[in-house]
Amino acid sequence: MPRMTTGDGVKIYYEEVGSGVPIIFSHEFGDNYETWGPQLDYFGRRYRCVTYAARGFPPSDIPEEMEKYTQARVSADIGELMDHLGVDQAHLVGVSMGSYAVLNFALVNPGRVRSLVVGSGGHGSDLENRAAVLEGIEARAATFDEDGAEKTAMNLAEDTVRLPFKIKDPRGWETFRARLAKHSAEGCARTLRGVFADRPSVYLQKDAFEAFDVPALLMFGDVDTPAIQPTLFMHRHMPRAGLLVFPWSGHNLNIEEPEAFNRALKDFFHAVEHDRWGYDRSST
């Protein structure tokens, strides 16, 4: 198994396919590195595609120390993976938890980012109800502690934001649910209590967004209500960001609508590589 060791001693599993300009894919909490199969199959023909298992998600390590579960730390894993692979700059693609990882890495390291794709991002950013957000995170972590991943998986897979996927593609949804059931309960609980509780609200990152002079594509499904306003906020303040809304779609964009997702990324990457991605809206 290919692995790299981070600066704090955590072994991160990764897979890569293809050659050319690198794309790094970062997965969501409810899935694992295998979620990017449709993207590796498609983009691996023309790009060097890399996907990895976040710390806390097998076959990567599940460290016991809670200080190893912060948003800054999991975002830094992306840079260390790039260093390990000899990659100076890459297209970064993330969904949900993965979108927070690539976004916060990109804001700190814009020179290493050829382009940025943020899908289904911003969940938990509500500042007015921050206490309720934290209570919800702890409640979900406690469910993993008490019931384990397999039992918890069905409830998570039935979340409102995932029902469009179940309705449109029952077999694909069941494959997703089966991967979720194989998560580490300990890794999920620590990720929730550490990374999720620590990650910044996008509403507090306005200045960083306005200074981010890198092509970006922001996307959400119109049924994924918690992602809508945070993504619109990012779009409003990122000068080189475009916006894409998937109709009658939920949270798992890359596997719920793989053809539309791949087509959007293909057009975006092509525009970026030919310096044809929009214009700086801050100058108008």
pLDDT per residue as tens digits for the range 49-89:
999 999 999 999 999 999 999 999 999 999 999 999 999 99
- Domain-located, residue 38: yes
pLDDT 10s digits, 234-276 = 999 999 999 999 999 999 999 999 999 999 999 999 999 999 9
Instruction: Round the average pLDDT of the chain to a whole number and report it.
Output: 96
pLDDT at 282: 60
Residue 279 belongs to what domain range? 3-125+200-283
Separation between Cα atoms, residue 102 and residue 60, nearest integer Å: 18
- Domain-located, residue 195: no
- Domain-located, residue 141: no
pLDDT at 145: 96
The enclosing domain of 97 has a CATH number of 3.40.50.1820
pLDDT at 280: 63
- Domain-located, residue 110: yes
pLDDT at 88: 98
- Domain-located, residue 185: no
- Domain-located, residue 162: no
Q: In which residue ranges of the chain is pLDDT below 70?
A: 280-284
- Domain-located, residue 69: yes
pLDDT at 153: 84
pTM of the model: 0.97
Alpha-carbon dihedral angle through residues 167, 171, 172, 174, given to the nearest 10 degrees: 90
CB 24 within 8 A of CB 82: yes
Counted domains in the chain:
1
- Domain-located, residue 155: no
